[in-house]
Amino acid sequence: MQYTAVIRTLGKAGEKYQTLLKSLLTQTIAPTDIIVYIAEGYDIPKETVGVEKYVYVKKGMVAQRALSYSEVKTEYILFLDDDLFIPSDGVEKMYNALIANNADVISPDVFPNHKRGLKSEIMMTISGRMRARRWDNTWGYKVMATAGYSYNKNPKKDVYISQTNAGPCFMCKKEDFLRIHFEEELWMDNMAYPIGEDQVMYYKMHLLGLKVLTLFHSGIEHLDAGSTLMDSDKEKRMLEGDCFFKTIFWHRFIQEPERNIITRIWNAICIKYYYAFTFAVSLMKGNVEIYKVKRQGVERAKMFLHSEEFRSLPKIIKI
């Protein structure tokens, strides 16, 4: 198997980026090339292993991934963020699981939601953001009608099929990635806070008929997990962006492709529950400012849904 490792970066990950580059050179299945897609206007980082190639592209979580990859000459691509550690057999494990399960896309579970404590699990379930699923021997991650997701609480196996995953690392054939036309989702790069692009990408893969896997117990680590500091301004941008994203995601990927009238009614109930809960929490805490921020996110999303830009997007058709 030949593959190209492609990395999106702003060139600011420092030692974490160096760790990733070094780990790529230790793989039992070595990459044919390492191509780094760096945002325009940013300096090429000093960290190096001497073999990586740089390509300048437009800045954005989607823009730096929704590319033609004309520089890639191999059948497979290993997509990476710049802050990962991959053990020497990490790529081999991913590829073997992909082939053994006759699948199209595989991603390691680098954000272990199944390790959440009971208090966090209960609060997330009540909010409609995410839900733990017990006694599920088939699914890893699934998208919910609230535009959130559910996760396998007790992943005993190494591999489960999924509808969504974390975005820092995944592998698939180049032709399969190009099939989803991820460039159609550049609207996400206009949000004040980058959020949700991984869910859009994987769920679009799922809806278009690609078999998506989650690989547990891989040893692949996201080195920046849980270390991002959150100040007041950043929290507001995140909450506004979250409400904006969930509104658009629900309309574009959950409700519009659905043809079953009963399911559409259930979907509508679920998203209304999510809104009611998230707004009620802010009001019960007496935080009117956060309530207004969330409302702004929803109202901005409604304006976008009626815009020519949104209406011009190709419709999602489930396969």
Same domain for 249 and 168?
no
Pairing state between β 33-39 and 221-222: unpaired
* pLDDT at position 230: 63
Do 20 and 111 share a structural domain? yes
Rounded Cα distance, 262 and 294, in Å: 29
Give me the pLDDT at residue 224, please.
Answer: 80
Position 231 scores a pLDDT of 76
Q: What is the CATH number of the domain that holds 217?
A: 3.90.550.10
Residue 129 lies in a domain: yes
Q: Is residue 133 part of a domain?
A: yes
In a domain, 148, yes or no: yes
Identify whether residues 135 and 176 lie together within a single domain.
yes
Q: What token pair was written down for 108?
A: 């390691």
Same-domain pairing of 96 and 149: yes
Domain shared by 238 and 183, yes or no? no
Domain that holds residue 180: 3-222
With respect to residue 227, please indicate whether it lies within any of the assigned structural domains: no
**180 and 34 fall within a common domain:** yes
User: Are 180 and 241 in a shared domain?
Assistant: no
Q: Write down which residue in 222, 246, 266 finishes a domain.
A: 222
Average pLDDT over residues 182-203: 93
For residues 27 and 3, give the distance between their C-alpha atoms in angstroms, rounded to a whole number.
Answer: 12
Residue type for position 81: D
Integer Cα distance of 299 and 284 in angstroms: 21
For residues 101 and 244, membership in a common domain is answered with no
Distance CA 156, CA 166 (A): 19
Asked whether the beta carbons of 212 and 103 are under 8 A apart, the reply is yes
The two structure tokens encoding residue 155: 């992943």
> Taking the model in full, what pTM does it have?
0.95
Has residue 267 been placed in a domain? yes
Q: State the total domains in the chain.
A: 2
Rounded-to-integer distance, Cα 191 and Cα 186, Å: 10
The mean per-residue pLDDT over the stretch 212-221 comes to 97
Q: What is the pLDDT of residue 228?
A: 56
Q: Are residues 259 and 179 in the same domain?
A: no
What's the pLDDT at 254?
98
Q: What is the mean pLDDT of residues 136-146?
A: 97
> Does residue 162 fall inside a structural domain?
yes
Cα–chain-centroid distance for residue 119?
25
Domain boundary residue, one of 200, 222, 244: 222
Tens-digit pLDDT profile for residues 6-62: 999 999 999 999 999 999 999 999 999 999 999 999 999 999 999 999 999 999 999
**Which of 222, 250, 273 marks a domain boundary?**
222
Asked whether 171 and 92 are in contact (CB, 8 A), the reply is no
Helix (H) or strand (E) holding 280: helix 261-284
| 26-30, 114-118, 223-227, 294-298: the lowest-pLDDT one | 223-227
